[in-house]
């Protein structure tokens, strides 16, 4: 029999980023119905941006000055992208609207893009966050018209007479109906329809009519003078689109092992609702099967889920927040910088011998009990301003974090640590863990966070 407290934690793990310190006592007295009502309650939307001001440049005729100005622009872009990254991360940690941020995190990986322009990065992130709980059609339209996505998938090069198929292909393969549900002819015809879709430097969508192919196209069995809007509408008319999205959401929110019967039921409801995301989530999180034991403590936390989960339980002040960029790099999941258009992997792909060791050491490192002994490889494409020559700079070896241990210990004092932090029974019993942790609440918490079971949610 699964207790109400475990159900509440399960819901918090999947509809948000895990239980916070403040929620420990709340979850002991609330029903799962009450917890879901709190998570699903509409909240005002607050966009994420950056405060780093632009730089005044003196452009000269000399190539040296122009090169210097270009370098300053690149440095500014990196700083602003770091700021967006950290602001998004902190929203996950502190925002009351956990459901929006969790779904924004999902869609951010689903509609994967990576651009150097911070204005474009902020624009697509906020388009995703604003529509994360709304209608999938609105979300698809917003992302498909985002300069970041059009740039990332080369649609600014897609012109009449010289179509570029990259954007059209990925819209179908990765964002909507999935591989095998369309032909190469459909890709070519869709690319023709998307000709002329572009943007300006202010992160505004622009349709360049003179580059658009106005001829007849045949796409997914339909023929007409289609433009990009028509292509997206036809894609949304396909039940396969609802099935593809629902399947991926099930793996993210419920279990990597898909129950086809449940996914069919969910996708049919999603399609019939006109792609109402909030309604789909409500169906999932209020269903009795969601709280079955086979779904609890069965998912491996992604690096971001792991980091955010620790910070929600251990309130901390971070002297140098940029350190968190380093941990994203080391663990293999940097916000705004997916590895490719397919987004990040999931499940067991997150775990190998080196990353598992670091994941289990993070609670000790962040508590100041041990130094960081891992170096991130240099990568010019994702350095985010943290390029290093040789070993990492000393400033990034020390996390410079101070945890409010008195506040934490007050909450954990009369409670079993593993009951709060774990969803799966540890391989060795709590008494042995407490003995190993020298009897102090602080060490008990740190050591519980350092065992393999804490990697699961």
pLDDT at 61 exceeding the cut of 50: no
| 297 and 457 Cβ atoms separated by less than 8 Å | yes
**In sequence order, which residues have a C-beta less than 8 Å from that of residue 383 and are 6 or more positions away?**
78
Tell me which of 37-46, 188-197, 431-440 is least confident: 431-440
pLDDT at 257 exceeding the cut of 70: yes
CA distance 397 to 228: 49
A 10 A CB-CB count for 207 gives 14
Q: Count Cβ neighbours within 10 Å for each residue of 244-282 and write b for 16 or more, e otherwise.
A: bbbbbbbbbbbbeeebeebbeebbeebbebebbbbebbe
pLDDT at 336 exceeding the cut of 90: yes
Tell me which of 54-63, 115-124, 200-209 is least confident: 54-63
Percent of the chain with pLDDT over 90: 83
* Token pair belonging to 439: 């009897």
CA distances from 324 to 333, 366, 451 (A): 11, 11, 21
Tell me which of 76-90, 276-290, 374-388, 432-446 is least confident: 374-388
Q: Are strands 197-199 and 205-207 parallel, antiparallel or unpaired?
A: antiparallel
CA distance 74 to 385: 9
CA distance 32 to 16: 14
pLDDT at 303 exceeding the cut of 70: yes
CA distance 293 to 273: 29
Label residue 342 by pLDDT band (50, 70, 90). Answer: very high
| 158 and 197 Cβ atoms separated by less than 8 Å | yes
Domain ranges of the chain: 11-23+298-455, 238-295
pLDDT at 24 exceeding the cut of 60: yes
Label residue 390 by pLDDT band (50, 70, 90). Answer: very low
**pLDDT computed for residue 385 by the predictor:** 46
Average pLDDT, integer, range 264-285: 98
Closest CA to 26 of 43, 39, 40, 44: 39
Q: Helix, strand, coil: what percent of the chain each, to 5?
A: 55, 5, 40
Q: What is the pTM of this model?
A: 0.94
**pLDDT computed for residue 400 by the predictor:** 82
Closest CA to 414 of 61, 6, 19, 28: 28
Tell me which of 49-58, 311-320, 325-334, 364-373 is least confident: 49-58
Q: Count Cβ neighbours within 10 Å for each residue of 160-191 and write b for 16 or more, e otherwise.
A: beebbbbbbbbbbbbbbbbeebbeeebbbbbb
Closest CA to 37 of 8, 5, 10, 2: 8
**pLDDT computed for residue 245 by the predictor:** 98
Per DSSP, the residues of 242-253 read HHHHHHHHHHHH
The count of residues in the chain is 457
CA distance 422 to 454: 6
| 275 and 295 Cβ atoms separated by less than 8 Å | no
Task: Note the Cα 446 to chain centre separation in Å.
Answer: 26
Question: pLDDT tens digits, residue range 403-429?
Answer: 999 999 999 998 999 999 999 888 765
Closest CA to 373 of 357, 384, 388: 357
Per-residue DSSP letter, 176:
S
**Mean pLDDT score across all residues of the chain:** 92
CA distance 198 to 211: 10
**pLDDT computed for residue 376 by the predictor:** 65
**pLDDT computed for residue 388 by the predictor:** 44
CA distances from 252 to 16, 109, 265, 455 (A): 12, 11, 17, 15
Q: Is 59 exposed, middle or buried (0-12, 13-18, 19+ CB in 10 A)?
A: exposed
pLDDT at 60 exceeding the cut of 50: no
Sign of the four-CA dihedral 384, 310, 24, 292: positive
State the DSSP H helix or E strand holding residue 197, giving kind and residue range, or none if neither.
Answer: strand 197-199
Label residue 65 by pLDDT band (50, 70, 90). Answer: low
């Amino acid at each position: 029999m699964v207790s109400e407290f475990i159900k509440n934690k399960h819901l918090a793990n999947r509809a948000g980023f895990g239980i916070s310190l403040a929620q420990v006592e709340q979850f002991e007295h609330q029903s799962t119905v009450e917890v879901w009502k709190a998570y699903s309650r509409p909240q005002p939307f607050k966009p994420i941006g950056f405060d780093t001001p632009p730089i005044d440049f003196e452009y000269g005729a000399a190539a040296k000055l122009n090169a210097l100005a270009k370098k300053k622009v690149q440095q500014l872009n990196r700083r602003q992208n770091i700021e967006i990254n950290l602001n998004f991360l902190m929203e996950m940690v502190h925002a009351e609207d956990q459901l929006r941020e969790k779904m924004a995190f999902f869609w951010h990986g689903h509609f994967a893009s990576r651009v150097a322009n911070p204005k474009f990065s902020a624009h697509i992130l906020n388009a995703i966050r604003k529509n994360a709980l709304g209608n999938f059609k609105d979300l698809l339209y917003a992302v498909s018209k985002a300069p970041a996505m059009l740039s990332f998938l080369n649609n600014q090069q897609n012109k009449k007479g010289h179509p570029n198929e990259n954007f059209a292909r990925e819209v179908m393969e990765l964002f909507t109906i999935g591989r095998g549900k369309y032909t190469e002819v459909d890709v070519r015809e869709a690319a023709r329809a998307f000709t002329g879709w572009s943007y300006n430097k202010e992160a505004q969508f622009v349709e360049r009519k003179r580059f658009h192919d106005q001829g007849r196209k045949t796409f997914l069995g339909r023929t007409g003078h289609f433009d990009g809007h028509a292509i997206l509408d036809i894609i949304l008319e396909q039940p396969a689109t609802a099935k593809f999205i629902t399947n991926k959401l099930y793996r993210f929110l419920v279990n990597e092992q898909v129950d086809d019967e449940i996914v069919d039921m969910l996708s049919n409801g999603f399609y019939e609702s006109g792609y109402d995301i909030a309604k789909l989530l409500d169906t999932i999180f209020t269903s009795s099967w969601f709280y079955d034991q086979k779904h609890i403590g069965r998912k491996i936390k992604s690096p971001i889920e792991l980091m955010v989960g620790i910070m929600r339980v251990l309130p901390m002040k971070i002297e140098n927040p940029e350190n968190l960029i380093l941990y994203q790099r080391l663990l293999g999941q940097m916000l705004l910088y997916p590895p490719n258009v397919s987004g990040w992997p999931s499940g067991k792909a997150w775990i190998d011998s080196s990353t598992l060791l670091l994941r289990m050491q993070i609670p000790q490192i962040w508590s100041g009990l041990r130094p960081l002994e891992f170096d991130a490889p240099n990568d010019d494409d994702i350095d985010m301003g943290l390029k290093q020559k040789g070993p990492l700079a000393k400033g990034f070896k020390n996390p410079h974090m101070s945890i409010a241990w008195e506040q934490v210990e007050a909450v954990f004092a009369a409670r079993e640590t593993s009951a709060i932090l774990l969803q799966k029974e540890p391989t060795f019993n709590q008494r042995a863990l407490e003995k190993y942790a020298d009897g102090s609440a602080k060490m008990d918490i740190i050591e519980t966070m350092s065992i393999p079971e804490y990697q699961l949610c």
